[in-house]
Structure 1
Amino acid sequence: MIALINSSNFNDEEYTDEQLKDIYKSALQYSVFFSEKKFKALNDKFNSLRAQLEKEEKRNTQLKSQLQQQQ
């Protein structure tokens, strides 16, 4: 749908106002759907990286503690 609208062959004069409304509404729904999926994927990646960072920070704290005990 979005590809149709973005193509140079798309001529909105070939469609009634009601058809155009449906086309743009569908394109917007697809756009929102894929934006939400992309956001969820990015959010999942962010949460994964944050968990990894917290794990590394905990390990660094433990290593610093061990180093101080050895000195």
Structure 2
Amino acid sequence: MRALPAVTGRDEFDALVVRIDYHDDQAWQDVAAALMQPWGDRQCEAHVHFIDDPAWAGATVDEVLTAV
């Protein structure tokens, strides 16, 4: 299993979204924008921590879980 960069600066209650596929930048931007939208009946603020670093490209679920 390869070593991945440390996840820093994340609040423990933030949703963590790790980009592991770099084939479609527009799709990534669309997903990130959608995840940042207010949600619920009271339009709660989204708390999301994005990891957008090519060092994570192709990482497996096990690799991501081990790193975080």
What TM-score does the superposition give when structure 1 sets the normalisation length?
0.29
- Structure number with greater CO (CA < 8 Å, separation at least 6) is 2
More strand by share: 2
More helix by share: 1
Quick check: which has more Rg, 1 or 2?
Answer: 1
